[in-house]
Structures are given as structure tokens and as C-alpha cells.
Amino acid sequence: MPRTVVHCRTLQDIQLAIVAARSAGLSLSVRGGGHDWAGRALCDGLVLDLSDMKDIVVSPDRCSARVAGGARASDVLALTDPLGLAAVTGSCSAVGMAGLTLGGGYGPLIGRFGLALDNLISADVVLADGRIVTAERGREEDLFWALRGGGGNFGVVTAMHVRLHELPNVVSGVLVYPFSEAKTVLRRYADAASSMPDELTVQIGAVAGPDGMPVILLVPTWCGAQGRGDAHIAPLLELGTLLDNTVDAVRYGASLSVFDAHIVNGQRTFMETCWLRSLGEGGAEVLVEAMTKAVSAGCAIFTHEFRGASSHIPVQATAFGLRHDHVLLEIFASFPDRSDRLEERRHQRWVRDTRRAFDKIALPGGYPNLLGTGETDRATESFGPNVERLVRVKQHYDPDNVFCSAIPMPLGRSAIAAE
Ligand SMILES: Cc1cc2nc3c(=O)[nH]c(=O)nc-3n(C[C@H](O)[C@H](O)[C@H](O)COP(=O)(O)OP(=O)(O)OC[C@H]3O[C@@H](n4cnc5c(N)ncnc54)[C@H](O)[C@@H]3O)c2cc1C
């Protein structure tokens, strides 16, 4: 429960809010789209709320857009869809562009265009000392590097300049397979995935179907040349007994509505995450076993792919620490807000046990945007060879750790002293 929420509309509002929090000794958090699972956008001190800062301007050459710090993906796509353009977003349009981009940004366009952060051209930032800077190649270069993976640890991003791509439509939709065939479907998919073109990404979900029993969803998105998508998606229609198929040519923004039904406001949610090399090597079996132990229809596992363009970028080029092909797992359990402690514990235990079941085959760390507040050790592993530089940049730009309500990061000496 924050002490105060400041609805900022200008850079000066943000500067004053930072000064006010610091001089009153209040903790401070930044709220962009408000979609962080761990609720880091809300601290018990001063919340700097950017939800009134949503302006988006497409450049005259259609190659980029200026996106204000509180805009969600849906705000950007409402403007770019009718123009036949797309920004790189996550797979759910309600997520904030700044939080997504600063921490990574896995999404359906990743194979062709990389992470959302790979499409960041520059960022305007209000720093802890109130200075306003622009970080880009050749200017505040360390900050620009750290913003691409280090999350909101360095300042308030008031606007981002992001790359846009010509994309009149994508071929996307949902394929539904019965859970009884889950192992076969997932194994066949893992085999097929190794030869899929970069323009095709597939998100997998193990979720409750309409009758509450689990089903396997595949959500392919083809973002390559028009007319070629169906042929590449065709093998995915033959992984088992197909129960439903909604794949069609749609605007990119429209394709992101498929998960809306699984994102219900007012629910409580536990979330755990890990990275796997692939769903092969036993991953499919662990996933299926975990879903058979689901404690309610609110338990689900989703994957995000990381490959193609995102894997071709050298690991030290941005702060994001894992630059080879992998699969990100989101393990979550949601349940009604008024549930008792028993329900809460049952769901929490399922999420934890499921993540632990993947331990043997998981890569070190996990997607920092999805790690919990206390998971500093895992975040340190996630940043891999970039961790020391990241800590140095944090010490330079935010030595007093004003922006501590962000992705967990190992603190340098001066920040520890300030705590
Ligand atoms: C339903 C759902 C679907 C998701 N899908 C995806 C997905 O497909 N791909 C993916 O990669 N991730 C996904 N995520 C994770 C998401 O990227 C992160 O939770 C992200 O932090 C959300 O950004 P936000 O601005 O909405 O968050 P907020 O809750 O507003 O903020 C979270 C943190 O981000 C930082 N932050 C936000 N805005 C700013 C700003 N303007 N300046 C400085 N710091 C800022 C702050 O540190 C803040 O504490 C999803 C999350 C949810 C809840």
C-alpha cells in the first residue's frame, strides 16, 4: 500500500517526485504498464505513476516511433496496426513497453527482429540526481548498454525511440491438441523446431481447456513474406489429433489477443520461471508430469522461444546475459483473490515444485523480468559475463540505489552502504 502515488505528466513532475521521495526518506518505485508479476511497480513509499504519459509518435520515414514511458504495447499497436507497421512487443498487448523493453522483451517477432531491447534506438531518462539525459549509441553509452537488460535500475525512462518494421499482417492463431497426446505433440514439436525458419515463432501453453481439463496450445506466428506462412505452419497441424485451429492472416496487434482469456484481473498469481536449452532433453516429459499434478484450473505453463536474430547478437553488446537459443518457461498459478491460506499454499507449492522439477535440465539464472524480488543470486547468474559492468553502471548512475524497486541486481559496495 503506497504512501502516495504521483501521476506524472511532464519531466518536471518526475524530477520533483524524485526530489520529494528522497528528501522525505520514502522508498520510490516506477509504474509503467503495471504488469510486473512481483508488483515491483508498487512500493510502500512514493509510486511514480507514468500511466498518463502514453504519447506515441511515428517518424515520418515510418522506421521508428517515440514511445512515452507509460505506454503499453496496445497503445503502440493501435497506431501501428493501421499503418501496416509493427514494434517488437511481448505476446500480450497489455504489458508496458518500458518495463518489457528494459528487461528483455520476448515476443512473437523475436526470431526475425530480436528482443524488444534489441530494437531500442535511444531512451530519455531522468536520473536519481534529477538530471535528464538521452542514452544512445555515442551518448551516455554505458547507460544505453545497461538499460538494455538491466531493467528500471538506473532511472525513469520518460520516452523510448524504438525501431518499427513493415508488417502488413502476420499468420497466427491457436492450435489445440488433447492433453492425452501432450508428450508426443511436444516431442514432435521439439524435433520440428530445430529446422523452423527465423520468421516463425511458436509459443506453447499447457492450460485448462473450457471443461477445466488441461489441453496443449500451440500459438505459431509467421512474420515473414506474405503467402509463405501457411506452408511453414502446415507441419504443426500434424503433431497429433488437432482439436481446434484458428490460424489465419491477421494484423500483428490483433494476433496478440489470444492470451487475453488467460489474463484475468483481480486474481492472485504465483509465478516462477526458468530457462531450458530446448523442450527436448526431457523438458516435455517434466512439463506434462507437472500439469498432471496441477492443483486447479488456474495452473498453467507457457513457453517463449529465443532464437534467430536474438541469438546472433554478441552477449556483451547489451546487458541481457543469455544470447544463445533457449526456451523460457513461465510457470504460473492464479486463484481467486479471497482464497484462504490453504488455497494460497497449494498454488504456491505447485509453482515451486514445478520449477524445481526442471532444475536438472535448467540453465543457470532465469529471465530477470520474471524473477522474484529476493532472487538476486539467480539474477546475477542471468546477467552472466555482463554482471560486473552492470554493477559499475549502477554505481555510477544510481549510487544511493534510489531505483531499488526493479529487477533484482547484485549491489555494489556504495549501494550497500547506502541501504
Ligand atoms: C500478463 C503478462 C504477460 C507478459 N508477457 C510477456 C512477454 O510476452 N514477453 C516478455 O518478455 N515479458 C512478458 N511479461 C513480463 C513483463 O515484461 C514484465 O513484467 C515487465 O516488467 C512489465 O512492464 P510494465 O511496464 O507493464 O511493468 P510495471 O509493473 O509498470 O513495472 C515493472 C518495473 O519495470 C520498471 N519500469 C517500468 N516502466 C518504467 C519506466 N518508464 N522507467 C523506468 N523503469 C520502468 C520498474 O523497475 C518497475 O518496477 C508479461 C507479464 C505479464 C503480467
From the CA of 92, how far away is ligand 1's center (Å)?
11
pLDDT score of 243 more than 70: yes
Query: 170-370, which class in CATH?
Result: alpha beta
Average pLDDT over every residue of 58-73: 98
Per-residue pLDDT, averaged over 197-215, amounts to 91
| 36 alpha carbon – ligand 1 mean position (Å) | 5
Residue 385 has a pLDDT of 96
For residue 25, give every residue at least 6 positions away whose Cβ sits within 8 Å of its Cβ, in sequence order, or none.
Answer: none
Nearest to 108 by CA among 215, 320, 257: 257
Q: What is the pTM of this model?
A: 0.96
Tell me how long the chain is: 419
DSSP for 70-117, written as a single string: T-BHHHHHHHHGGGTEEE---SSTTSBHHHHHHH----TTHHHH--GG
What pLDDT score was predicted for residue 418? 40
Residue 419 pLDDT greater than 70, yes or no: no
The C-alpha cell of 116 is what? 524488444
Residue 22 pLDDT: 97
DSSP letter at 403 equals: T
Mean pLDDT score of the chain, rounded to an integer? 94
Q: Which three cell numbers stand for residue 2?
A: 503506497
pLDDT in tens, 267-311: 899 999 999 999 988 999 999 999 999 999 999 999 999 999 999
- Residue 257's pLDDT band (cuts 50, 70, 90): confident
Residue 134 has pLDDT above 80, yes or no: yes
Amino acid identity of 224?
G
414 pLDDT more than 70: no
The pLDDT of 238-266, averaged and rounded, is: 89
Helix, strand, coil shares of the chain as percentages rounded to 5? 35, 25, 40
Atom 13, ligand 1: residue with shortest CA distance: 90
State residue 119's pLDDT score.
98
What is residue 159's predicted lDDT score, i.e. its pLDDT? 98
Q: How far is the CA of 1 from the centre of ligand 1 (A)?
A: 19
Q: What is the pLDDT of residues 91-120, one digit of tens each?
A: 999 999 999 999 999 999 999 999 999 999
State residue 413's pLDDT score: 44
pLDDT above 90 (res 411): no
Q: How far is ligand 1, taken at its centre, from the CA of residue 102, in Å?
A: 8
Q: What is the pLDDT of residues 354-376, one digit of tens each?
A: 999 999 999 999 999 999 988 99
Q: Which of 13, 43, 56, 95 to mutate to test the pocket of ligand 1 (most atoms within 8 A of CB)?
A: 95
d(C-alpha 250, C-alpha 292), whole Å: 34
How far away, in angstroms, is 51 Cα from ligand 1 center?
13
Q: Which atom belonging to ligand 1 lies closest to the Cα atom of 125?
A: 42
Q: How confident is the model at residue 397 (pLDDT cuts 50, 70, 90)?
A: very high
DSSP 3-state of 375: coil
Domain range summary for the chain, segments of one domain joined by +: 170-370
| Greatest Cα pair distance in the chain | 63
**Ligand 1: lining residues by beta carbon, under 6 Å:** 29-37, 40-41, 50, 69, 90-92, 95-96, 98-100, 102-107, 151-152, 156-157, 263, 369-370, 405-406
